[in-house]
Each structure stands twice: as C-alpha cells, then as structure tokens.
Chains A and B, each alone.
Chain A
Amino acid sequence: MTGKFSKYLKNKKPILKQLISLLTQKYQYVSILATDVSGVRIQVDKSTTIVQPSAITESGFVIKVFNGIVYSEYSVNEIEEKNILAIIETVDRLAKQKTSVPHVNVQQLHEDPLTQVFIRKNKGKVLATDQIISILKSYVNDTIAFSPLVVNANAIIETTEISKMFLSKDKDLEQYYTWSNPRSFVLVRKDSNTKYAYDGFGINSIEKGLAELQASMIKTAKLAIELLDSTTPKPGIYDIITDSSITGLIAHEAFGHGVEMDMFVRQRSRAQSYMNQRVASPLLSMHDGADATFSVASYFFDDDGVIAKDTKIIDKGILVSGISDALSALQLGTSPTGNGRRESYKRKAYSRMTNTFFESGSSKLEDMIKSIEYGYMISTTNNGMEDPKNWGIQCTAHYGREIKNGEFTGKIVSPVVMSGYVIDLLNSISAISKDFKVIGSGSCGKGYKEWVRVSDGGPCLKAKVKIG
C-alpha cells in the first residue's frame, strides 16, 4: 500500500484536462473518470499459498460525452499525448453511430462546480506480504490443530487501495481510500459427511483485520463441526429471528434493488408506484448510502462524480426515496444520490446500492428469542436474488438454529432458503432489536452481472417467512 493518491493519475491530469477541453469544443457534456485501483489477495490453506492481484484491480479511463441525442462512453486504459487524436476520433465515431432505433429524450447533465480532494488511509501498520503469509499460515495451522475433524482451513485477506479522479468542465475531484477484507473457510469431515462454514468481514485496518481473523477462524471451525449434525429444514412457514447478516440480505434484496432508480426509468420497479405509501411494518426504517455508515462501500464520490450521501429509503414503514446514478436522476427529474457505480472503468454506471441497512429498534434480542414458540434463528448470508417488478424474494442463509418455546434446542439446519412476497415479509416484522452491525464483505450483481462491493446489515429482526 502506498498510502497516498495515485501518482500515475496525478501525472495524467494535465492530458485529461486537455482532452476534456478538446472534446468540449464538440460536445455539450464531457467528463472523464480515471481509476487506479490496486490490491493484493493472499490466501493460505494447508497445502498452498496464493498471492495474486485483488479482484478489483484496475486502471483506466471512461470518457463520457453527450452529443445532444445520446450519451456515449469510451473506456480505454492508455491516454497519452501521442494517441489523443486517435481517442477523439474513436469518441466521434461512437457518438455518430447511426441506429434505426429511436433515442430516449434526455438532456445534458448539469454539475455544480466543485474541486475537492478526499483521503482516507489504512489505520495501523501496513504489513509486508511475507508477514501476512506467516500470520495466515499460523492461523491455518491452529485451525487444523483445533480438531481432527478439520480437513482444510483457508485464511484469506484482500487489501485494496482505491484512487479515483473525476474531471469535467465544472468538477475536479480526487479520492483515495483503502479497505481490507479478511475471510475464513473451514471444511470438516466425519466419516463421509462433509460440511463447511465461512466468515468474512470488512475493516479499514490490515493490522486489526488480521487480529480479528484469528478468532474468526476458530469460530468458523466450531460452526463447521456443528453443521456435521445439521439437517435440511422441513419446508413450511416459520417465525424467525434474523442475525445482522440476514437482516442486511433482506434489506438488500427486498427493497434495495427495487429502489435503484435506473429501474424506475426502465419501468422495472413496482416501488416507483408505491412512493410515500406504506410498504413495511411501521417499526422499519431503511437507509442506503456511501455516507450512511462506514463500510466497504464508503467512498467520497461516486463514478458519476456525485458526492456520497445517506439516503433514507423507508421511514417507519413508508417508502420515501430511491437511490440513483446521475443519468437516471436526469431522466427522472430528481437529484442524484451518489449511487452511480461501475463494476470497473470498462462497464457502464448503473444505480447501485452501497451500504444498505435497517435502523435498529428497541427490543432485546433475548426477549425476541423467548417470544418464538417454534422457529429458527437464521444466520450468515449465502446469496439472494431480487425481483423488483414482482416483489418476489429469495434469500439463502447458511444455517439456522431451531428455537422451541423460546429456547434454542441445539438443533441446526442448513441451508435455509427463504422465499416469498416482499411486502408480506416486511409487514410480518414484529420486533427489531437494539443491536446494529453492518458487514462489509459482500459483492452484489445487477441481474447476473455488474459486480460491485457492498455492505449490508442492521439489527436482528423477528419475522414470519416461508422456508422451502
């Protein structure tokens, strides 16, 4: 980690400004997003060690222009004095593409002038690769020694530093920030019964992240061993308590995707017609925003150059706002919320979630558990899927613990696949705990593509769901 904004991007700034100036002579709107994201993923298990670039490593530029009809973007990873004319030619060719399909009625993006530099560094020591390998190896050895049932253990850390620059006629923004994701995965076997467990979290300190991973490894091993006795749940309707991970998954899949306002532009979201109406229990309030809490998606400005915000989506059960990228907000006549995100500079910006969560409530978790006659406490996100137009929902948890007459019975089920109708689920929420945790280790696709890093979470919820 360098601990500072990319020197490469700094050096490119004059030529990027020159390019903007040249393109502005032809186009109503011109901007350039420049990215330099680097990181390392170190994975150690009992037999091998892998050191490779972080999955989000990238460096390149998105040149965006508006010719009065359509927006066009050219993604390229080399901009130099000698190819600047070739770049302009490519942009011109792209913007002049003939199409037999009519164009949308869209106006020019307007931006308020802003020049600002944002910096957020890794906290604590930055360890060298050999030091990290040695620490991870010791965790793997300790986890394998923990029980003869442990077949293999993986200790992983991914560290990333992000430099992004957004330039246009009116904007000159730079941001530098860091993030780390420690992860554990443990495989256990008894006779021919094999099970696994995993854990992951996000943190802005390599040193602290590695320290916390040690406990996470043993916790994961204990859970994997417990899961050797797991069964699959009998399909049915159950009262459940969700942990923060599953609460976040529900927030994300139930109303997160549905209020991504590029879905409104495409008439793909039922939420659009429910604005200012009740969609959930009055106990429930929900937020999203890169500035809503501190986690993996806490940037300073988005890939459209819009400053990060905290957007309240649901206020006491009433749907009050969506989240948007700049182009969608322009088409809808609303203000962008700082949610324009790209998988990388090679992809388009869409309205995307950042840090999504339900606000905490006033109930005690132990009282919520006591109130369950028969059901499960559901934990650890596996995956989920949105259905923004028809409000179907599917959320898969890694496991659930059986509760009978307000007590845990010791029985464990895995996996737990919850499904149903979003409104039924959200209206079934009858208690919300005081706890609050946001887990910054996830990724989210839009449909089945466009992966970006997100966090989600909140308190524990009591709800009624279909488990199939």
Chain B
Amino acid sequence: MIKQIIKGLQANPAVTDWLINEVKTISDQAFYVLQKIETTRTVATCEYSVTVYHQYTDQGKAYLGSSSFAITHKISKSELAKKIDEAVFAASFIKNKAYDLVTGLKKQSWKEKTDIIEPFVMIDQIATTFFGESSSNIRFNSLEVFFTQTSSHIINSRGVDLKKTLNKFDVEAIPSFDGDKQNVELYKYFTYKTLDFDTIKADAINALKDVCSRYNAEPIKEINKVDVILSDKDAGEFFDNLISDFSFAGIYKQNTDKKIGDSVQKDVKGDLLTVGYTLSSKANAFDNDGVIVKPVKVIENGILVNYYGGNQYAQYLNMKPTGNMSTVSVPKGKTAIDKMRKKPHLEIVALSGIQIDIYSGYIGGEVRLALYYDGKDYHPVSGFSFSGSIDACLSNIVLSKEMTNRITYQGPKYIKLPTMELL
C-alpha cells in the first residue's frame, strides 16, 4: 500500500512534499464481569495518514500549506488520486509560513523486546493474579485487560524512513467492597510494559486494600487547611500542566508571556523544580513528523531553560526540534516519604480527577479516598474537596526521594503541596 501511495503522490506535480504514517495495531482484549469472563476481542488493523505539502510564494513570501487525509482501507488508484487532489487543493489555500520537512539519511527501526507469543495466555494470568487476591465481598467487579502492539512506519519525501514497534498491557480494574453499612468501589488503571507478576500482584493487593479503606472512610471534619501529598499519576499531571504552555507552538502562539530565563517559581521555600520530557521507552524514538526525539529539560532549578516540541514551530522560533514526547520527567527529590509523613497531612489515594487551571492558578479536586494523619494516627477519609493556589504550591513544593516510573511520568512518587483548603 505504501508503494501505491508514494506513486500516487509522485504523480501529482502540485505535491511538493509528502509524509505517510502507517500504523498497524494488533490487540487482544478480555472483559471480565464479577470475576467471570464475558467477552474476548481481537483487533488487527492497518491504517494510513497521508500529509500532502504544497510550497508556494505569494507577494514574495514563501508559504507551505499542508493537508492530511486518512486511508482506512484499500482504495483504487483513481480514489487515491482524488484524495490527493482534494488535499493539495486545500493545502494551496493554507498560508502557513514556510518551513523544512524533517530530513532523513538512513532507514532506522526500533522494536521493544517482548517474549509474548500468546497474549491471551498472559491476559489469563493477569486476570487470575488479580482475582487470586480477592475474597467473596472484596473483589474486582469489573476487570478489562488489553494487550496492544502498535507498529508505526513514517516515510517522507525528504528521506525519513523510520519504524518502531511498541507493546503494552493495560488493565482497568474496579476493586469493590460489599459491606454491611455500604458497598464501595474505586477506579484503578495500570499499564505494564513488561510483565512482572510480583508487581501485578502488589497492584492487585493495594487496589483491594484501598477499597477497604474507602469502605471505612469517614467525612473529614473540623480540618480547614492541611498539607496535601499527591502521588504517581496526579503528581505527573501537576508537572505536565506546569510546562504545557512552554512548547514551541505555545510560545509561537503566545499562550504564555514567559520566556527562556524567566523564573517559574517565586519566593521558593521548598524544592527548586527541574521538569522536562523524556522517551517512554528507547523504542519510542521518533514523533509523527519523523523527528528523532531527545529528552529535554524545560524547567531547571525553577527557571524556564528550554522550549520543546515538534518540527514546524521549532523552525518558526529558529530552534532545533526536540520532537513531541508525552512522558514527563522530574529528578528525584531530597525528602524521604517517611519524613514527609511526619507532620499532619492528607495523602490523596483517589480523586475524581485533579483540576488544574494554570491561567487562574487553581488546583483542586474531589477526594474519593485519602488518608488523613493527625500527628498520631491515620484516618481514611472521603467525600470532600481540596483546593489551593498553584503559585503557593510552587513556592513550597517538596519532592520525594522515592521515584515512580510510569509511561506518562517518571519522577518523584510523592509531592507535598502546602496548606490546601478543605471543604
């Protein structure tokens, strides 16, 4: 199919450049209801995204218009020619400042190693590991397990020819506790790049432990302000939001008035932050433009030091693209979690969803489960919300020595935010 697409693109003289992204997906999936299997699924697809570029000048200025279309099944020569015609027609009306496509010198490919031959056997083992930790009233009322292998192949008219194959297992688990006073549940989502059944077992045990805590949780009373500890995904989202406007596109479109050299943290009494992006795995080596991605520090010791992102906007700012990455990276902190936990605090286990608005400086969320430490004992608490100011958080944030390594976040497992308001 790729050869047919290239032939079609080369046959159209108005196409000055092109980029093809072929994505092959193989996925095996199993869906369990009340710890029994209900549905099995297999997915096998191959799809193409084609971007057509049209370079032209108007009143002495150079422009590069582009337009993309999808090929979701085999099409005839004439159907392809029609799609290319429509795309190049649209591109000829797009007045984007000219830039160069990524160039490539040699074919390269990356593949995540996997010893998975029969994914359904592994899916079955994952499910039995989860269910093996449950009891009659503390169990997983819903469990969905997905194995996904995604192969991407990017080719453009400037010599880029890159391939990568990535694998992962995703597990959506709903631990539930049916008790005398109430029935409760929590939402858990795990992603595994490799299968370590000790880790999976620990995740299952902790998920069930957490839902027991939710069963015993009480509303928090008479506490108006407290230090809050976020962990894992919530910590990652905090840092991701913090640097989201510092992409080349964000800077070029003036989403922020901050520039390299500006301080992101004011009146720092806590830890100075270093935040950036890195590769989720070595094999995830290039982005959708064909840029070979490189880890980048966006904030270093509280100062904005680099922008990040893809090819087009990097060139508009006369900078070198880092490539688009989605794994937030933060170095480890200086404080052990045990020390963080010494003073009264609220450790969040589950939120409805963390709410962060960088422009209003707001951070907060509805707490489904947290552990409140009053200086003597821990109390599971639920059914209230916390909120605070991002600026105050940045002045006083404390990062843990303990690290977490997730697909979307590699950094301190715990972060402590000061004196949040509770309601």
Interface residues of A (CB under 8 A from B): 8, 36, 38, 45-49, 51-53, 57-60, 70-78, 80, 90, 94-95, 97-104, 106, 129-130, 133-134, 151-152, 187, 189, 192, 194-196, 230, 232, 235-236, 265-268, 270, 327, 331, 346, 348, 383, 385, 387, 389-390, 392-394, 396, 414-415, 417, 419, 421, 447-449, 466-468
Contacts and interface: CB of A to CB of B under 8 A. Distances in A.
Given A53-B49, A129-B89, A230-B360, A101 B124 contact: yes
A392 B38 contact: no
Interface string B347-374: 0000011010101111011101000000
B90 A266 contact: no
B44 A268 contact: no
Contacts of B90: 51, 129-130, 133
A51 B91 contact: yes
Interface stretch (B250-258, B273-281, B410-418): B250-258
Nearest to A69: B37
Contacts of B141: 266-268
Contacts of A36: 72
Given A49-B96, A104-B33, 12 more contacts: A70-B38, A77-B47, A129-B93, A266-B174, A267-B141, A267-B183, A385-B352, A385-B353, A394-B366, A417-B364, A468-B384, A468-B423
Contacts of A60: 45, 72-73
A106 B256 CA distance: 55
B131 interface: yes
Interface in B382-400: 382-387, 389
Nearest to B255: A187
Contacts of A47: 96-97, 252-253, 316
Nearest to B182: A390
A192 B257 contact: yes
A79 to B, nearest CB: 9
A468 B386 contact: yes
Interface string B278-302: 0000000000000000000000000
B326 to A, nearest CB: 15
A398 to B, nearest CB: 9
A327 B39 contact: yes
B176 A268 contact: yes
B25 A346 contact: yes
Contact of B68 (A53, A104, A266, A419): A53
Contacts of B184: 389-390
16 contacts: A73-B40, A80-B74, A94-B40, A99-B120, A99-B127, A101-B128, A102-B37, A103-B36, A129-B67, A194-B359, A266-B33, A270-B183, A346-B45, A390-B214, A394-B365, A417-B385
Nearest to B421: A235
Main DSSP-derived SS at the A contact region: mixed
A97 B29 CA distance: 11
B70 interface: yes
B46 interface: yes
A417 to B, nearest CB: 5
A348 B387 CA distance: 37
Nearest to A58: B72
Closest 9 pairs (CB-CB, A-B): A468-B385, A59-B72, A394-B352, A419-B366, A385-B352, A394-B366, A129-B90, A51-B67, A235-B423
Contacts of A392: 352, 366, 368, 382-383
B365 A130 contact: no
B39 A72 contact: yes
B32 interface: yes
B33 to A, nearest CB: 5
B254 A151 contact: yes
B368 A52 contact: no
B249 to A, nearest CB: 9
B86 interface: yes
A261 to B, nearest CB: 12
Given A70-B40, A348-B31, A417 B387 contact: yes
Given A59-B72, A392-B383, A415 B96 contact: no
